[in-house]
């Protein structure tokens, strides 16, 4: 995957281990970083632009270690389409009730998981094929 580092001194996105599913992305903040107050949100750039291959999508997900600090993505998961060429930006929310969230310059704060996707054709119909589950929704398959 081709990327452009918008800030030459920023670390290059990388997998932390051979078994890592996501590329760690770094916070493109001022030297003093950002402070996000409890229950507030802030858009934070990653300092990169990427050419995700056609047939794939990038899923922007918080790092699990940041979840302990109250960091969540405001939109749950960020979708980076293969035809997007702008800076990858994360909408970070501090979900903690009391403590501010500090995002330091060049800190690993989100990860980008690249997965294959298929586009399907749409066939309008009056009836859908029957399944065992049918229209059963939340919890309809049991709790255990």
Q: What is the CATH number of the domain that holds 25?
A: 2.70.40.10
Residuewise pLDDT in 10s, the chain (144 residues): 999 999 999 999 999 999 999 999 999 999 999 999 999 999 999 999 999 999 999 999 988 777 667 778 888 899 999 999 999 999 999 998 899 999 999 999 999 999 999 999 999 999 999 998 888 877 767 776
Q: CA angle, corner 140, sides to 137 and 144, nearest 5?
A: 140
Q: Give the total number of structural domains in the chain.
A: 1
Position 126 in a domain:
no
Q: For position 76, what pLDDT does the model report?
A: 84
Q: For position 75, what pLDDT does the model report?
A: 86
Q: Which domain holds residue 86?
A: 2-116
Position 128 in a domain:
no
Per DSSP, the residues of 49-92 read EEEPPTTEEEEEEE-HHHHTTTEEETTSSEEE-TT--SEEEEEE
Read off the pTM.
Answer: 0.86
Position 12 in a domain:
yes
């Amino acid at each position: 995957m081709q990327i452009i580092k918008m800030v030459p001194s920023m670390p290059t996105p990388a997998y932390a281990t051979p078994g890592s599913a996501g590329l760690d992305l770094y916070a493109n903040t001022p030297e003093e970083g950002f402070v996000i107050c409890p229950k507030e949100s802030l858009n934070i750039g990653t300092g990169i632009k990427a050419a995700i291959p056609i047939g794939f999508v990038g899923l922007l997900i918080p790092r699990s270690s940041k979840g302990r600090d109250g960091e969540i993505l405001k939109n749950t998961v960020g979708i980076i389409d293969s035809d997007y060429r702008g800076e990858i930006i994360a909408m970070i929310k501090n979900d903690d009730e009391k403590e501010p969230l500090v995002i330091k310059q060049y800190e690993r704060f989100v990860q980008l998981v690249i997965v294959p996707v298929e586009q399907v054709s749409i066939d309008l119909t009056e009836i859908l094929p029957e399944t065992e589950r049918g229209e059963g929704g939340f919890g309809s398959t049991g709790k255990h």
